[in-house]
Amino acid sequence: MQPLPETRPLSAFPGVPPTLFGLVSRYSPSGQEEEATAWLVQHMQSLGFTQAFRDEVGNAVGILGDGPQSIVLLGHIDTVKGELPLRLEGDRFYGRGTVDAKGPLAAFVDATAAVGKIPGWQIVVIGAVEEEADSDGARFVADRYRPQFAIIGEPSQWNRVTLGYKGTAWFEATFRSPASHSASSRPSVCEAAFIFWDSLLKWTQAYNQDKERQFDQITPRLRGFCSAEDGFSETATLRVGVRLPCEVSPQEWYRRVESLFECLEGVECRLQPTGYAIPAYRAEKNTPLVRAFLQSIRAVAAAEGESTSPSFTLKTGTADLNIVAPVWNCPAVAYGPGDSNLDHTPEEHLSLTEYRRAVKVLERVLREVTGS
């Protein structure tokens, strides 16, 4: 077993950019981001940011420039749980958060520092907390900034731009009925719960029948089940999460779920939404920000001697883009180095070549949209 990240200095990882190493080497699962945010604030100060501070909810914020117009680069500094030993194998840097999403956040910092102050503009880099939980950091900044452009830090690979993420909603469905003898012909309350679940799956399968892309489908998942009885009544509870397409809002989803209760006679049914329901979001393709990314990816590819062309992707998960973009109502996309298939895995790693290319793309994008 190799030593864990904080015991090994940057010199042990030749070629790893200091910003990327500094973030990844500080383990920061949701709710434990203090050390990483404190380091990032100090690091942005050392890079010459006009301001660098921790805001009221613990986000690390760096502002470069003091103009009336702004660009917000919103990454997240928290990770899922599970600290990984750092290691460097050739071009690949392994560690928790290299992909999701300290790699993109580090790229934001390095690109902003490289561009420097742009007259008339503020470039705001935010390392948000709690993205892997309830997105407390993004919810806080959504009402505090009104940027002209927004870039959300999530892995897309250096030559792709993410235009959208599905929505999400959670609920608990509780079923209750008077206790009955085990020899009774009436379905038990546990059976009633699974009759409901089967009806829900059949409805979503019918909805998805003509939807080829997973981004356009409703995808429910059963996440928990429990039951109890006290001699007088029996209860069963299902815990369900769903990924929703743009065409179905969380409110519409809840209404459809409740309508399926009608198939259960003699059973008291109750639906309780839990957590935050988040609608899906899809950005427009024809915006100055998207055009800047396409031009910048082509330019970097040409300079690197690469034959790759820029492309778009739609993600089946949910990100802070869903939260801030509808509020800010400005051109917004998600972008960052890394393969999202490695999110949350023990083999999470980032190509350093890809990281450097993403930084170059971001530098060009910032100059392009600001006209500098």
Is 33 one of the catalytic residues? no
C-alpha dist (Å) from residue 342 to 39, 352, 361: 25, 15, 22
| Rg of the chain on CA atoms, in Å | 23
**Distance, first Cα to last Cα, the chain:** 49
Could you tell me which residues come within 8 angstroms of residue 245 by beta carbon, excluding any fewer than 6 positions away? Answer: 166, 167, 211, 215, 216, 217, 218, 280
Name 332's bridge partners.
Answer: 150
Of 14, 15, 42, 39, give the one whose Cα is nearest residue 25.
Answer: 39
Of 68, 14, 5, give the one whose Cα is nearest residue 39.
Answer: 5
Could you say which DSSP state residue 262 is in? Answer: G
Q: Could you give the residue ranges of the DSSP H alpha helices within the chain? A: 18-24, 34-46, 102-115, 136-142, 189-208, 250-259, 288-303, 320-328, 352-370
Name 271's bridge partners.
Answer: 173
Distance in angstroms (rounded) separating the CA atoms of residues 335 and 351: 15
Catalytic, out of 33, 110, 131, 136: 131
Distance in angstroms (rounded) separating the CA atoms of residues 283 and 162: 9
Bond into 101 cis (ω within 30)? yes
Go through 290-314 and write b for each residue having 16 or more CB atoms within 10 A of its CB, e for each that does not.
Answer: bebbbebbbebbeeeeeebebebeb
Is 339 one of the catalytic residues? no
Catalytic, out of 78, 100, 348, 363: 78
Amino acid (one-letter) located at 279: P
Q: Kindly state the helix (H) or strand (E) to which residue 331 belongs, with its residue range.
A: none
Of 44, 49, 55, 28, give the one whose Cα is nearest residue 141.
Answer: 55
Residues annotated as catalytic are 78, 131
